[in-house]
Each structure stands twice: as structure tokens, then as C-alpha cells.
Structure 1
Amino acid sequence: MGGVEDQIDQWRGFVRRRGAISGADVEEMEDHLREQIADLEAGGLDGEEAFLVAVRRMGNLDEVSREFAREHSDRLWKQLVLVPEADAAGPGRWREPGVLLAFALGAGVAVKLLFAAVDGEFEQIRNLPFVVLPFLAGWFAWKRRTPWGVCAAAAALAAVPFLAVNLYPFQEAPGPFPSPGMTAVLAFTHAPVLLWLLAGVLHTGGHWRSHDRRMDFVRFTGELAMYLVLLQLGALVLLGLTAGVLSLVGVDLEPVLEDWLLPFGLPGALLVAAWLVEAKKSVVENIAPVLTRVFTPLALVMLVADLVVLLVNGPLTAVDRDLLILMDAVLVLVLFLLLYSVSARDPLAPPGVFDRIQLALVGAALAVDTVALTAMLGRIAEFGFTANKTAALGLNLVLLVHLAWSARLLAGFVRGGRPFAAVERWQTAYLPVYALWAAVVVLVFPPVFGFA
């Protein structure tokens, strides 16, 4: 049954990408498909034969989408408006935007209270994710109707890094000016990763073990980044024009910007972007494949250039530390691109040219990661372990495993020996490893390295 279930998963993912078919209708179609398979198996066919015959009997899925669009034309409008249609005009149609506005205002108030109660820029920055992301996670929980037990467990887990970041006796870095030590910087930069993945549990409605739900969260993350950038760019243009106009009449916008617009605008933009992703989901999914096909070849060229720079820069032990840090940032960017590309791809489509380009991208990333690891090990052998070097080494090892297995699965798919579903499942199954590594950096590194 494992093979049949994998094929049904692929079929379900393909149907769900058809914007004119709602989730409830997909479930109804899947029930019908399973009944057909059961009847055919009772007639003597094996599982895979029964699946193929059942799908054929259900007809061409594009035709199914067009039939649904004709019979339920209002669904097409729901893709193009911000507020979902209600059965009748009334307060119900504004319920979701109202709840989201309440969460956004709550996040703004929390940021204002943080800035008023906590002194020191570093202390404020390191606590910012802990006062903003809970409101986004709360909206996830409300929208997905996440069980209270799951919400309580996620909150309890999120409290652990919050206490560590605020109660650990971090030391300041040596120098003429006070600045946080390396373990403090590592803790507050890795804590948001852990918080975001915990918020993902609520985004899945508590069904984190579901491959489809995890992939939806991966897709949501990429689309959220797109919308957030667009909102911020638009806000910068608007604020710049407003400040220019007000300055001509002697009005200074800076106090209002610092005291009100930034504390409420930044978390508000995050929640509004999240709402837009959910409201215009099927429209954005049409943009995603275009973006991945544009940036994947460019990222491949960038990685090859980076690899050449690393190899011709002299002995690997002499590679500059800042260059290695930038290489890690490039590898993380490639990982995001890989995840987003996989989430946007039609799992039933046969392998094509773009899949080979993506395989080359992963191979180039593996080569860069291997060279960077060699350079890091050389520096550690020469200068010893530090918190920063160990964190970079661990991240590269985590990326190495992720990329290596992804390359293996992609190569099998390109050769026709594996379904694309195996590539998808690996991406989402590996996400908890990043949460575990972030937890180690936040909780274990500071005491191990003396909070320096």
C-alpha cells in the first residue's frame, strides 16, 4: 500500500494546485478515487494498476478544473479579492480581517511595551521575535483551529529559548566599546529560527507529521517573504514622499516614525503579509514557478563563481573568516531556493531541463559546502574551537546532509528511477533537524563556551 499511497499523495497535491477546486471537493474526489481503487482491487488488479485505471476513469484533471470553475464560478472571484465572500452580506465577511487587525495591534502594543520596559538596543532586538511572533502564531492557531494542547506545548517550548536568551549570564566582547559576546549573538540569531518552526506547528493545525501540511508551511514561508518585501518597499516609498512633503512645511516626521509607525508598522506588515498569502494563495502559486525558474540559473552561476573564488584564493586554511561566513549565507539562500522550487513544482510532471538545472545547483552547493568545510576544519585545527567556528561548522554539516540527500533523490528523479514525491518528502522531513540545531546553539553553546 505504500506505493499506492505515495501515488495518491502526488495526485492529491496536483489537484490541490487547481485553484478552482476547494479543499472539501478534493477530499470528496479522493474518497471517490479510493472507492474506485478498492473496487478494482476486489476485481483482481494490484494496487498500482487499480490506481492508474481509477485515475483514468476520473477523467482529465484540467477538464475537472474547468467543470468546477463553470459550476462554482464564485470561487474564481475568491482568488482575486482580499476578503472572502460570505453567503450573505453581514459582519461575518469581515471577521477574519478583524481578528487579524486585533493581532496586529496587539503585536504593535507589545513592541511599544518592550521598548518602554527594556533599556539597551541589543536587549530590545534580541527580545523582538519573542513579542512579535507569538501574535502571528496566535493567528495561525485561530485560523487553523489548532487544539489548545498543541498551542500550550508550543508556548512552553518557546518559553525555553526566551528564558535562556534573557537569563543566561552573557559576557560582553572585549574592546573599547561595550558589545555582546559571540554566544549572545549566536543565541539571539538562532532563536528566531526555532520560534518560526514552532509557529509552523500551529500553521499546520497541529498536524506537523503531515507531509502536505509541512509543505504548505514551506510554501507559505516563501510567499510571505515575497509579500513582506513588497509591502516594505511600498511603505518606504510612501514614507519618503510623505516626509518630503511635510519637511517643506516645517513638520518633522521622525518622532512619529520612531514612536508609532515603526513599532506598529513592522509587526503589522508581517501579519498583513501573512493574511495576503492566505487570501490570494492560488494567485501567488502561479507566480512561484516563474520566480524559481528565473533565480535558479542565476544562483547556479553565482555558486560556480563562489567556488572558483574559494579555490583560487590560496590555501584553504588561509581563507578569510568573513568570506566563509558569506559562503554560509549563500548556501542558506540556495537552500531556501531549493525548498521554494520543490514546493512550487507540479509533482506529477515528468523530469525536464529545469530539474537538471536544479540538480546542477544542488551539486554546486555541495561542492561549495565541501570546500568551506575543509577550510573551517583547517582553521579549527590551527586556531582551536570557538563558539562562532563551531556554530558555522555545525551549520555546514547540517546543510551537507540536506544537500547530499537532496542531490541523490533529484538524480534518481531525473534518471526516472524515483518519483518527485520522494524529493518533496525529504525537504519537509529534514526541517526538524534545523530546529534541533538552533536549539543546541541557543541552549547548549553559551554554557559550553563560558557565555563569552
Structure 2
Amino acid sequence: MTVTNGPDELESQFAQWREYVRRRPELIASDADELEDHLRDSVDELTALGLRPDEAFLIAVKRMGGLDDLSREFAREHSERLWKQLMFLGDSGDTATKATLRRDLIAMLVCAAGAALSIKVPALFGQHFDDEGTFYETNVALFTLPWLAGFLAWRRRAGLRLCAVLVALFALGVAGANFYPVADDSQSVNLIGSHLPIALWFVVGLAYVSDEVRSSRRRMDFIRFSGEWFVYLVLIALGGGVLIVFLTSTFDAIGLGADDFITYWLVPCGGMAAVVVAGWLVEAKQGVIENIAPVLTRLFTPLFAVVLLAFLVATGLTHGGIDVERENLVMFDLLLAIVLGLLLYSISARNPLAPRGTFDVLQLVLVVSALVIDALVLLTMTGRIAEYGTTPNNTAALGENIVLLANLAWAAWLLFSFVRRRAGFPAIERWQTTYLPVFAVWMWVVVLVLPPVFNFR
């Protein structure tokens, strides 16, 4: 931001700052005015002390902190108003804001309805939930994630080229889930069912970042979006569980069974729609649930660090190897994914300018412990593969552990450098956002490449 000394230039800078602040959906016009009043007061105080207007403006902006911090503060102080805006669009402030919220709400309802109806379409062609086979296992993400991506692309005003790429990637997912000649009891079908939703989630991420795909900041925003989306989805699921209990009890009381309606309509259609609704909630109310997810990461990071350290100590004392049978491989991969998730979301929620603290040391302990466990699992896996040969499962697991090992190794080094005051925090952010495409590529490799390589067994 370039600032000069004239009053007209200073007013121009205030106008630019005000426009930037108003981009945040949490802050209505009156909020921006209040923030601007604080900024002007601070500039006046600094110029009274003898600073030039340009110096006073820059220092005042820096004192106010980052825009995300400001919006989170306003979300906390005005949470009652924000939640009223969520349900009652008439309380949302100026006309432009209300129109935007209304358009987003309508778009969300259309996409949620589309997702809910999509999962019932196969029934028109004789494919039902209680049929034998793995059709729904491999296709479940394709019923809802394209609608969520469509909502995000519409909200971002994505260009035609990006929309074409999104359609092509989802079509590729449809091909991988349905056109491969895999048996229902094959390892390949299990790999497709477990990895395709993750691969498609990265396609949702592409819709989220839209035309800023190379932006590290937008990729970090998507990580934050993913964490908040998960929290909202869990809350919706808990509410849906309570609804099902009451629905079952009340209809049983009058002698009517609601089991078929719950099994074939409420759960599948509601589950598909909830994925879209959760995404809309994150977009509409950024900064409200954001206060919950960082608390969860700060709670579970030390707990997971203790558990991993205890596991390593127990492994050393017993002198026993790690069992790398399929069930245990899934468990270790899930454990490492959770560790990575805790790391990613804590990074996305952290103020880059905050000083180093105890929590950063705990993160380093967590990552190093996960790194050691990953190395032990890889060592055992390579021995088993050398002895018994490769299978689709152990090849996928081997690749995932290598991908995670590379990520955790460099993340541990960057965290160590940060704790030792030899590097800044932005380097950690850049590494994680730069590495996201590696995860996406491997997921697609597992879905599209490994099945034919192993002859679909």
C-alpha cells in the first residue's frame, strides 16, 4: 500500500482500507464505519505527536492488527447479531448485504436439494440401498461434492475454464468409480471407495480457491474452510441424530413405524444435503465457528503428543515390531492423517506474527513423534513387501506413508527452526500449502492408476 503525505492521498488510503474491510461478510457497513473511526482517531493521535500522515496511517493500521483478527473480534462481540443474520436476512444490515445473503441462501438451497435428490436417482434405475454390491460405497461422494463445488464456484464467480476443469475432474471420478471392472470383494474397490472422496475434496478446494489457484493465502483459507466445514457437519449430524430419535419415538407412540422413511429418505437425503449446508454455513458465518476449531486443536494436540510418545516408549521397552496387517495399516494412516490435520488447522488458525510459545513446542513434539512412527511403519512395510510381494492395499499404504513422511519431515525441520528462532512462521505455512497438490495427485493415482496396474484385483 503506497501512502503519500497530502490530505487527498490520505483520504484515498482510508477509502481503500474501508473497501478492503467491507469485503468480509461478518462486517456490515456500520462495523466498517466503527473500525474506520478507531483508525482515524489513532492517525490523529499519531500526527499530533509529530508523525507525518503517511507514517501515522501505516502505524495505525499495523496497531489494529490483521483483518482476520478484527473480524473474529467483531464476530465474538456481535455473535447474537450474526446468528440472527444467519436465520433472518432482514437483520443483515444494508441492502447490498441482504441481497448477497439472499442469493447465497437460494443458491445453497438449490444445491442442497440437488444433492439430496441425486442420491435417489439410482433407485429409478433399479439400484437400491439394500441391494448387494458396492455401488453406493464407491459413488457416495459423487452425489454431493459436485453440488458443494458448484455452490462455491457460483459464489466465487468462477470462469468458464475453471468450471470446465471441475466438470472434467468429477467426470473422471465417475469413470474411476463405475467403469473399472472391479469385483465387489476386490482390494481395488476398497481403495476407490476410501480414496475417491478425498480426491474429490481437493476438487472442491479448486472450486474454493477459484481463479487464485496459485495463491498460498487462498490455499490456507481452504484448509481453514475444511476444518470449519467438518465442525459444522458434525454439529449437523448430532442434531440429525436427535431428530431421528424423536421422530422414531413419536411415531412409535401412535403405532406408525418411521424406519423405512428414516432409512431410505431422511438419512441419505439429509446426509447429502448437510454437506452443502455445512459449506454454506462456513461461507456465511466465517469467524464464528472459527473460535471453536482452534480450541479443539489446542486441546487435542498435547493429548495426541502424549499418546504417540507413550506408544514409542512402549515399542522400545517391548522390543516388538509393529504389526502391519491391513487393519493396522488403516489405523496408522488414520492416526498420521489426524496429526497432519491438527497441524494444518492449527497453522491456519494461528496469527503468523504471534511470538513462539509452549504450544509450538508441543506441535514439534507431536510432529516428530508421528515422524518416528511413520518411519517405523515404513521400515516394517518394506520388509513385508520384500518377503510377500506387493498388493493394491500395501502399495497404496506405502505411497501414503512416503507422502506423509516427506511432509512431516520438512514440517518438523521448519518447526524446529521456528522454535529455535532461526526461521519465521510463514515458511511453515508456505510448505503446507505448496504440498497440498502432492496429496491430491496421490489420491488420484490410487483411484485411477493402481487398480489397472494390479489388474483390478
* Aligned mates of 2:249, 2:381 — CA distance in 1: 48
What's 2:111 paired with? 103
What's 1:154 paired with? 166
Percent identity, please.
Answer: 42
1:365-386 C-alpha deviation (Å, 9 max, x unpaired): 1011011111111111221111
Relative distance call for 1:166 and 1:131 in structure 2 (3 A) is: same
What's 2:411 paired with? 406
1:424 corresponds, among 421, 429, 432, to: 429
Moved more, 233-242 or 396-405: 233-242
Unaligned runs of 5+ in 1: 1-14, 33-50, 173-178
Structure 1 position 184 matched with structure 2 position 189 = yes
> Which has the higher relative contact order, 1 or 2, with Cα contacts under 8 A spaced 6 or more apart?
1
1:247-276 C-alpha deviation (Å, 9 max, x unpaired): 121110111112321232001111111111
* Aligned mates of 1:158, 1:338 — CA distance in 2: 29
Structure 1 position 137 matched with structure 2 position 142 = no
What's 1:269 paired with? 274
Instruction: After TM superposition, give the deviation of residue 431 of structure 1 in Å.
Output: 0.6
Say if 1:103 and 1:135, in contact at 8 Å, map to a contact too: yes
Relative distance call for 1:388 and 1:233 in structure 2 (3 A) is: same
Relative distance call for 1:121 and 1:451 in structure 2 (3 A) is: closer
What's 1:218 paired with? 223
What's 1:123 paired with? 135
SS of 1:169's equivalent in the other structure is coil
What's 1:9 paired with? none
Relative distance call for 1:229 and 1:215 in structure 2 (3 A) is: same
Which structure 2 residues correspond to residues 4-403 of structure 1 after superposition, within 5 A? 55-56=58-59, 58=61, 60-61=63-64, 77-78=81-82, 81-82=85-86, 85=92, 87-88=94-95, 93-117=101-125, 118=127, 120-170=132-182, 172=183, 179-311=184-316, 315-316=320-321, 320-403=325-408
Say if 2:305 and 2:366, in contact at 8 Å, map to a contact too: yes
Relative distance call for 1:245 and 1:391 in structure 2 (3 A) is: same
SS of 1:385's equivalent in the other structure is coil
1:183-222 C-alpha deviation (Å, 9 max, x unpaired): 1211221111111101111111231111111111100101
Instruction: After TM superposition, give the deviation of residue 165 of structure 1 in Å.
Output: 2.2
Instruction: Give the CA RMSD over aligned residues.
Output: 3.4
* Aligned mates of 1:392, 1:361 — CA distance in 2: 21
Instruction: After TM superposition, give the deviation of residue 161 of structure 1 in Å.
Output: 2.9
Instruction: After TM superposition, give the deviation of residue 419 of structure 1 in Å.
Output: 1.3
1:94-127 C-alpha deviation (Å, 9 max, x unpaired): 3221211111111111110024433544112211
Say if 2:28 and 2:94, in contact at 8 Å, map to a contact too: no
Moved more, 59-68 or 270-279: 59-68
Say if 1:376 and 1:393, in contact at 8 Å, map to a contact too: yes
1:400-423 C-alpha deviation (Å, 9 max, x unpaired): 000001011111111112111111
Moved more, 75-84 or 99-108: 75-84
Q: Number of aligned pairs?
A: 409
* Aligned mates of 2:267, 2:323 — CA distance in 1: 43
1:42-86 C-alpha deviation (Å, 9 max, x unpaired): xxxxxxxxx99984354511599889999xx99993476315625
* Aligned mates of 2:260, 2:80 — CA distance in 1: 44
Paired letter, 1:108: A
* Aligned mates of 1:229, 1:67 — CA distance in 2: 24
* Aligned mates of 1:67, 1:233 — CA distance in 2: 28
Say if 1:369 and 1:396, in contact at 8 Å, map to a contact too: yes
Say if 1:316 and 1:374, in contact at 8 Å, map to a contact too: no
Say if 2:25 and 2:284, in contact at 8 Å, map to a contact too: no
Paired letter, 2:105: P
Instruction: After TM superposition, give the deviation of residue 298 of structure 1 in Å.
Output: 0.6
Say if 2:115 and 2:269, in contact at 8 Å, map to a contact too: yes
Instruction: After TM superposition, give the deviation of residue 318 of structure 1 in Å.
Output: 5.5
Say if 1:107 and 1:131, in contact at 8 Å, map to a contact too: yes
Paired letter, 1:448: V
Relative distance call for 1:305 and 1:344 in structure 2 (3 A) is: same
Unaligned runs of 5+ in 2: 1-20, 40-53
Taking structure 1 as the reference length, the TM-score comes to 0.82
* Aligned mates of 2:452, 2:369 — CA distance in 1: 36
